Amino acid sequence: MKLSIKDLLIFTLLTVTMELALIWALQIAPPDRMQGDVQRIFYFHLGSIWPGFLAFFYVMYGSARYLAGRDLHWDRKSLASGEIGLVFCTIVLTTGPIWAKPTWGVWWSWDARLTSTVVLWLIFLGYINLRHYIDDESKRPRISAILGIVGACVVPFVYMSTRLFETQHPKPVIMGDEDSGIKDPNMTIALVLAMAAFTLLYICLWRIAVTQFQARDRLDKLKTRLSLLEDEY
């Protein structure tokens, strides 16, 4: 694989922001007054949900482009985005409980954010999983694209409904609202850096995945051509 200048640039930028984010989040930002050092995981927690959303909306965009033009590249691009989105979503779901245990005293609570993230994760999983069960390869991109669009349309409704639900019912645990902690400007800087770093990570991984899919497609095409040549003789 040949790296383009663009790839190198993104990669350098990613390394730098990731380092800075680590330094700021773990060293410079002061510990939370109530939660102490545990709160630091929050920078990475919130940092990964953002690319998760981004990934989903890209799936919707890519799927729509595929259905409009039936260009296989768009299918690969949305699939790559979906897979990486699932990874980020998983990071959110694992860092969440690690943070929740010391602050709330339980690993899990049916908080609106948690509930909606689980649903988001399940939708992602459904989208990725579906294509493994479609045997006909010529059908696969079309069917997945339709599910990708429907899934992305559901996401805002999931968030709205869980919020609406929470305003009517008392929350199980009131402590640990993430907005309460941010007072120090260094905390804001750490958060912004973490979000930027994870977004760059998403872009970087996505580019690698797309190249990988394209290489595989090219290989398949060559194989087909080879079998055709063998036919001739």
Q: For another protein, which is the closer residue by CB, 4 or 129?
A: 129
Provide DSSP, 54-72. HHHHHHHHHHHHHHHH--H
Closest CA to 121 of 158, 78, 146: 158
Q: How far apart are CA 28 and CA 11, in angstroms?
A: 24
Q: How far apart are CA 198 and CA 101, in angstroms?
A: 24
Half-sphere exposure of 6 (CA within 13 A, CB side): 4
Q: x/- site string to another protein, residues 100 to 129, per CB under 8 A?
A: -------------------x--xx--x--x
Task: Please list the residues that pair with 36 across neighbouring strands.
Answer: 32
Whether 90 and 120 have beta carbons less than 8 Å apart is answered as: no
Q: Considering only residues 63 through 82, tell me which ones interact with another protein, judged by CB under 8 A.
A: 67, 70
Out of 28, 38, 87, 154, the residue judged to bind another protein by CB under 8 A:
154
Least Å distance between CB 47 and another protein?
Answer: 24
Taking each helix axis as running N to C, give the angle between helix 112-130 and helix 41-69, from 0 to 180 degrees, rounded to the nearest 10. 40
Q: For another protein, which is the closer residue by CB, 185 or 227?
A: 227
Q: x/- site string to another protein, residues 1 to 40, per CB under 8 A?
A: ----------------------------------------
Least Å distance between CB 53 and another protein?
Answer: 16
Least Å distance between CB 135 and another protein?
Answer: 6
> CA dist 20 to 10, 36, 168, 201, Å?
15, 21, 41, 14
Count of chain residues binding another protein (CB under 8 A): 39
Binding residues for another protein, rule: CB under 8 A, are 67, 70, 119, 122-123, 126, 129-130, 133-139, 142-143, 145-147, 149-151, 153-154, 157-158, 160-162, 164-165, 168, 220, 223-224, 227-228, 231
